[in-house]
Each structure stands twice: as C-alpha cells, then as structure tokens.
A and B are shown apart, each in its own frame.
Chain A
C-alpha cells in the first residue's frame, strides 16, 4: 500500500514538472519541440515535391537532362556530407572529392568481383569508405581552419594520385580488376530493378532521400546538438561533458559513409569509370558550391549539387566548356561570403520576398488592402 502511495506521489510531481513547461505536452519528443501546424505542412510539401520529382521528371526532361538530374541526386549526398562538416561542426575539409573516389573505387571493385546485390554493395562501399575517410579526419583532431583544409587537400591529392596509378577496376582480372587492353570491357553492373537510365535516376533519388533522412536523424539528435556546441565553442562543449574528439570523428565518419554510398552510385551511373573522373580540383569545387548553396541547411546541399552538376550539363548542352563554371563559382563564393553567409538557399527566398513586395507595391495603394500600408 505504501509503495502505491509513493508511486502516485511521483506521478503528481512528474505531472507538475511537465506543467511547468508551457508547451510541453507529455507526448512531446525529448528534444522538446512543440508540435504545431507547420510541422505537419512542411513534411507534406516535401513528400509531394519528391513524388513529383520521381514521377514527372523523367517525362519532363530529355534523356540527357535526366542523366544530369541523376548526377544532381548523387552529388547532393556528397555536398550534404561536406555541409555537415563545414556548416554543422565547423571543420573545413578539402578532401571530400577523394573520399567520393574511394567510394566509387570500392563499389566498382565489389560490383565486378562479387555478385552481391547492389544495395549491399552500396552499404559496403559506405562502410569501407567510412573507415578510410575517418582517417582523413584524424588531422582534424589536432588542426583547424586553414591547416586542416590544407592537410585534407594534400591527402585528397595523395588518394587521387594513388587511384590514378592503380586504375579503376573495369572488369579485368586481378585485385584491381583492370583490363589495360580496353576491349570487350563489361560495364559496371547496375541494380537489376534499375537498369535503364530513367529507373536508375529514380533509384538514385531514393538512395539520396535515405541518406538525407540519415543525416536529419543525426542533426535532430544527440550528435547534432553536440556538433552545434563544438562549432560555437569547444570550451563550452567540453564543459557540457561532450567528448569533442569522438563527435568530430563521428562527423567525419558520417560524411565519409554517405559520400562512399554516393561513390557507389557514381560507379553505377557512369558504367565505365576511370581515374580522370575524379580530380583533386573537384574537392575544391565541392567546397565552393557547398558554401554557395548554403552549408547550414540541408536544402543548401541540393542547391549546391544543382550548381555543380546541372549547370555543367547545361553548358555542355550549349556547347560551352564547363570549365567556365570555375570562374562563376569563384565569383559566387565571393558574393556569398560577403553578402549572404548562409548561402543561396537562405538568400534567394529573401530576395524573392523583397522582389514580391516591390512588385506588389503599386497594387497595395488600392483600398482592398490598406492595412499593409499602415503596418
């Protein structure tokens, strides 16, 4: 009987505790986000948008541009990974292009050497790249800023050189599976359900969605909060009991994992990989577009991938060299760093809203909506 009394007393205190928080419903998630109408509308809009992309894009665009969108989907995973490092944890890595190449190499090797299902190969490529990519992250524990950027760039160079010299597997024999004669080279295998380019586009979008959800779960949870603390002040993070070394490595592991998975998708998309597909310059361009798109938002990653891969396809289509993009990205980074540090994903909606108000101005004089004028 006594224990029952204690029980109910505890329940009352618990209830009083949650009453103290004005918006804390007992069923509210642990992070303490209060549910409101917006939290239901937003996911609905996102789901509708993704369904539209998956269903309508292949019939809206020519095969050439569907392939371009496939690259956008794949590279949005890569830019997302770099965005986590730069925007959320504050570690600048110039080695992500090489991490992507590692993922592609591992996946191509596994696709030729084994008959494992494609998703298993992607997972394996992600995990192996995670181990290797975390090594790239080790200098981050001792260095930051410019020196970290330089070291990761050098490592990227080392990896690119190594991969260039051992060649990408192309179905030949031996450990690297390289056939120098380049005759009757079998293409890199694709998932059996996504052999055609259109089906492969949808496959890549779905994998990208899974990767975005994986990162979202991280950002909303304990690691996301720890990364926010580390980015703002390492001292504050340490005094909150956060093992900063562990969480920095975790960020590199997560970014490497999803970049490795993206590498596997790259292998499947090109069918024939060679070391020219990945250059050290890619790593630099990646950072530029991530900054332009917006490193602090997940949508910024999509914008970054669009800038990187869709514009490239567009210039190719117009018969211009995509190398011109380097200049455009240079100017873009300058613009973003000076006027819109949160990237285009933050700046463009603001500018559009401003433009909308400007265009609406002549009409607002009408008696229909005078209250806006007074406000």
Chain B
C-alpha cells in the first residue's frame, strides 16, 4: 500500500502537485488526468528525481522520501518512462539483468529471474540481441521486463501504450494485468487510453492541476461528472 499525503511540488512559480493526497491499495491502480495534471511529476517524486516541498509518501510502512533515488530502485520502486529508455547497446538479457545485479537479490537466481521476466512480458526477439536492433514494441516490453524482474514492490508505468498499434496494446494490457499476481507488486498505470485503464485497473485516481479530483472503482470514476469536465473542459469562460 502506498499512501500519499499533502504532496506538494513547486518549480519556480509552477505548482505541478498541489497538496495531493491519495492511497493506492493493491493490484493495478490507474492514474489519469489531462495533460499537465502532474502525473509524471508524481512518478518523478516516487522515483526520487523530484524533491517535494511538502508532504509525505509512505510505501509499505517505509518513508520513501528518505531514500536516495538509486536505493529506492534497489528497494523495489521500478518504472518505465514516457519516452522509452531501454539501453540500446546492451542485449535484452543485460538490460533486464542490470537491475537485478544492482539490487540485493542473490546472483544464483539471476538467470532464472531474468528469463522469467522476459517471458512474462512476452518478448519475441532473441534475448541476446542488442536492444538497438529491436522493434519499438519489443523495446517497450524490455522496459516493462526491467520493471518486473526480481522483487519489485511498486511498478510505475508511464504511458506504456503511447504510440503502440491496437493489437500490441492488447498484448501489453494482458502483461500489465498479470504483473500484480505474478510479482505481488503494486502497479500504478498512467495512460490516456481509457480502454486500457479500464481493462487493467480496478481502482483509478484522477489528477487535475496537481490535486486529486476523484478516486475509487474505475467504472465509477470514469462516469464522474467532475472527471468528464476536467477532460472536456467547462463552458465557463474567464
């Protein structure tokens, strides 16, 4: 369980997160909101790239904000990026193994864990091929494999389906749904594809202007009038 209370981030005069409070229980949770709502900033706070000016993040009983960024990854905060960041010159295997060898996991299970993660996300390419030679879909799956290998506790997926064709999005949707049961990690999915979010997430939280707008079962949230208004805008002008 991840509990966020009164999280505030300021960049100069901009406040991308403004007293955000929310609780992610378990399984796969959605996080949606219009562009600029603060979703990626929120992920950056969780991964330790952005330091909040106020607020607290408690993850499975630990104070996440006290940990340095790379230690959070070792502890189990994993993520993918909006623009895919698989390491081109390394093989699929090395990309996935890298995160394993830098966490406290035992080296004796590495091979099995890595191969397991690669087959979990269903990469069809040769695991020893450099990532630079892979298709866009497989590269993205490499990133997801990196996020689930070993013992992840929190998996943050930042628009994993952006730019993917429909059939690949469907495959990705199956992969995302299998993450909590296969790894036991709490998964937070940010995406603009509402059918993907409704397929994967039992609960969803909605951000708007850095504040929590609504949260609850995905079906109810997506019907919420305030949410629809945030996405479509209001008639009031000025």
CB within 8 Å of B: which residues of A? 13-14, 17-18, 20-24, 30-34, 222, 225-226, 228-229, 232-233, 235-236, 238-244
Contact = CB atoms under 8 A, between A and B. Distances in A.
B90 A239 contact: no
B119 interface: yes
A240 B99 contact: yes
B115 A241 contact: no
A13 B108 CA distance: 13
B49 A235 contact: yes
B93 A241 contact: no
Interface stretch (B77-85, B172-180, B213-221): B77-85
A232 B47 contact: no
Given A225-B87, A241-B74, 20 more contacts: A17-B112, A18-B112, A18-B115, A20-B115, A22-B127, A23-B126, A31-B97, A32-B93, A32-B97, A33-B128, A34-B128, A225-B98, A225-B101, A228-B87, A232-B87, A235-B81, A235-B85, A239-B99, A240-B73, A241-B99
B115 A240 contact: no
Contacts of A17: 111-112, 115-116
A232 B85 contact: yes
Given A21-B127, A33-B128, A233-B85, A239 B78 contact: yes
Interface in B40-55: 47-49
A20 B102 CA distance: 24
Contacts of A236: 81, 85-87
B146 to A, nearest CB: 7
Interface string B127-156: 110000000000000000010000000000
B103 interface: yes
B92 to A, nearest CB: 9
Interface residues of B, number: 39
A33 B92 CA distance: 11
Contact of B90 (A229, A233, A238): A229
A30 B115 CA distance: 12
B111 A24 contact: yes
10 contacts: A30-B111, A31-B94, A31-B97, A32-B128, A222-B101, A226-B98, A239-B99, A240-B99, A241-B71, A242-B98
B187 interface: no
B70 interface: yes
Most buried by A among B49, B87, B99: B87
Nearest to B112: A17
Contacts of A243: 70, 102
Contacts of A228: 87, 89-90
Given A236-B85, A243-B70, A30 B110 contact: yes
